[in-house]
Amino acid sequence: MELVNLDKFRTGNTIVNNIRHYDSLVKTRQSLLDVLTGMDNQITNDFLAMDIRRSLHYLGEITGEITTDDLLANIFSKFCIGK
């Protein structure tokens, strides 16, 4: 069953110029592939929900909904604040 066309994820005119965003998108894609694999293997909804949450977590890293100390340190190391 194909609910998500993941091939379109790799095509198009979108350019990701931030390595952190690219990494998060790659991890999101893998998490969504894990969901589809789990559905094919009739994995329980609890386990599918974990993979869905993981993909949302990685997207949240891009949108700013998820912040970690490492992420903040990475952001602030690239910008000069207070000078």
In a domain, 50, yes or no: yes
In a domain, 70, yes or no: yes
In a domain, 51, yes or no: yes
In a domain, 82, yes or no: no
pLDDT at 61: 84
CB atoms within 10 A of CB 62: 17
Say how many domains are in the chain.
Answer: 1
- Can you tell me the distance from the alpha carbon of 23 to that of 62, in angstroms, rounded to the nearest whole number? 10
16-72 residue pLDDT tens: 778 888 898 899 999 999 999 998 898 888 888 888 888 888 988 888 776 666 655
pLDDT at 83: 47
pLDDT at 1: 44
Please tell me which residue, 19 or 83, carries the higher pLDDT value: 19
In a domain, 28, yes or no: yes
pLDDT at 65: 76
Q: 33: exposed, middle or buried (C-beta count within 10 Å: 0-12, 13-18, 19+)?
A: middle
In a domain, 46, yes or no: yes
Closest to 35 measured CA to CA, from 19, 57, 53: 53
What's the domain range around 47?
19-77
- pTM metric for this prediction: 0.62
